[in-house]
Amino acid sequence: MAAWEKNVRKTIPYTPGEQPDRPNMIKLNTNENPYPPAPGVTKALQELDADRLRRYPDPAARVLVQALADYYGVTNQQVFVGVGSDDVLAMSFLTFFNSEKPILFPDITYSFYDVWAELFRIPYERPPLDSEFKIRTKDYLRECGGIVIPNPNAPTGIEKNLAELEEMIAGNPEVIVIIDEAYIDFGGTSALSLLPKYENLLVVQTFSKSRSLAGMRIGYAIGNERLIGYLNEAKYSFNSYTMNGAALAAGTEAIKDDAYFRETLQKIINTREWTKQELHRLGFSFLDSKSNFIFASHPKCPAEELFQALKQADIYVRFFNKPRINNYLRISIGTEQEMGALIRFLEHYLGENL
């Protein structure tokens, strides 16, 4: 080890899903939307004035913040935007989790939470999900440094009902409770309605899934004005200009086209429910997903074997080689055609190999 290495912050980074890019592959491994972004997004990008790019973008990202504020019926001062919800969550951890008490999040959940906690040296504990992979409310009614609950949870897809979430938020007035709603638009009930009652609540959402803009990196948080003020001050202490001109234009157009948004959501939800029926028919067991993925296990065929077999057929799903969940596959919901191909492959494979 060189002398200079002793002061380096050593981290164990998050491992994103593979991003293969092969013609005709079926990519169901990173919960992307199978439909393109709203038509207005294409138009806005084509009309982007390259000359304008020599100037810094608006550091307050007002056009996008305003579109979000209008859409959700909150004030501009209640909205924070960042480079994907990962950026928003990372800044929130840095800003709000400075207690010496541990923050709490489930043992099985988005695997970035413990990475951020390690990066920022935030103590944390991970109350285990129950035997049905559900979050137990009582585990979160205790002294702590903060709480992060993904709702629906990933990779399980299970939604926690609003009354139980409210119990956690009301029970922890001294700390910030972050509800990470990356997948809420696919049929869940948002905690946004609780904002007027609880000033310790921060709701985080993203354009990456329901708005088909994973490639543009846009996430946001909504909370009370004081909370968002602190988050903005931390952002202005890290990077004043996070949202580039293209992201501002694309995000704003995506929010404005609500009809397109609802139409694609409904298609995905319909395909998800069809896929559930088919998986059931093939003998899979799975949890009741309210997200754009299904977390499924087959009683006779190990998940890792299926994962590899699917990959050979250029169908990519996600397999987590981790305790408790290493016999499950997380399957993103693609188009009807893609899910049809997946089901046909599984039917054939299970028929031949069982």
Is the Cβ of residue 251 or residue 287 nearer to a copy of itself in the bound state?
251
Pull the structure tokens for residue 202.
């921060």
Question: Can residue 51 be called a binding residue for a copy of itself (CB under 8 A)?
Answer: yes
Among positions 243-262, residues that touch a copy of itself (CB under 8 A) are: 243-247, 250
Is the Cβ of residue 199 or residue 278 nearer to a copy of itself in the bound state?
199
CA distances for 271 relative to 140, 195, 268, 336, angstroms: 34, 32, 5, 6
d(CA 243, CA 64): 10
Question: Can residue 97 be called a binding residue for a copy of itself (CB under 8 A)?
Answer: yes
Instruction: State the greatest distance between any 2 C-alpha atoms of the chain, in Å, as a whole number.
Output: 62
Question: Can residue 50 be called a binding residue for a copy of itself (CB under 8 A)?
Answer: yes
Q: Are the beta carbons of 304 and 330 closer than 8 angstroms?
A: no
Question: Can residue 175 be called a binding residue for a copy of itself (CB under 8 A)?
Answer: yes
Question: Can residue 353 be called a binding residue for a copy of itself (CB under 8 A)?
Answer: no
Question: Can residue 171 be called a binding residue for a copy of itself (CB under 8 A)?
Answer: no
Contacts for 319 with CB less than 8 Å, ≥ 6 apart:
303, 304, 307, 326, 328, 329, 330
Question: Can residue 78 be called a binding residue for a copy of itself (CB under 8 A)?
Answer: no
Q: Are the beta carbons of 326 and 261 closer than 8 angstroms?
A: no
Choose, by CB under 8 A, the member of 28, 57, 188, 192 that binds a copy of itself.
Answer: 57
Question: Can residue 4 be called a binding residue for a copy of itself (CB under 8 A)?
Answer: yes
Contacts for 195 with CB less than 8 Å, ≥ 6 apart:
74, 78, 201, 203, 222, 223, 224
Question: Can residue 24 be called a binding residue for a copy of itself (CB under 8 A)?
Answer: no
Among positions 177-236, residues that touch a copy of itself (CB under 8 A) are: 199-200, 208, 212-217, 226, 230, 232-236
Is the Cβ of residue 230 or residue 274 nearer to a copy of itself in the bound state?
230
Is the Cβ of residue 319 or residue 349 nearer to a copy of itself in the bound state?
319
Among positions 265-324, residues that touch a copy of itself (CB under 8 A) are: none
Question: Can residue 83 be called a binding residue for a copy of itself (CB under 8 A)?
Answer: yes
CA 232 to chain centre: 21
Handedness of CA 96, 102, 103, 109 (dihedral sign): positive
Choose, by CB under 8 A, the member of 12, 131, 321, 323 that binds a copy of itself.
Answer: 12
Segment near a copy of itself (CB under 8 A), from 90-98, 128-136, 295-303, 335-343?
Answer: 90-98
Question: Can residue 141 be called a binding residue for a copy of itself (CB under 8 A)?
Answer: no
- Nearest distance, CB of residue 38 and a copy of itself, angstroms: 9
- Nearest distance, CB of residue 145 and a copy of itself, angstroms: 7
> Beta-strand (E) ranges in the chain?
26-27, 79-82, 103-104, 124-125, 146-150, 177-180, 201-206, 219-222, 285-286, 293-297, 315-316, 318-319, 329-332
Kind and range of the H or E run holding 109: none
Question: Can residue 339 be called a binding residue for a copy of itself (CB under 8 A)?
Answer: no
Alpha-helical (H) ranges within 97-203 are 113-119, 162-170
Choose, by CB under 8 A, the member of 23, 24, 55, 321 that binds a copy of itself.
Answer: 55
- Distance spanning both ends of the chain, measured CA to CA: 52
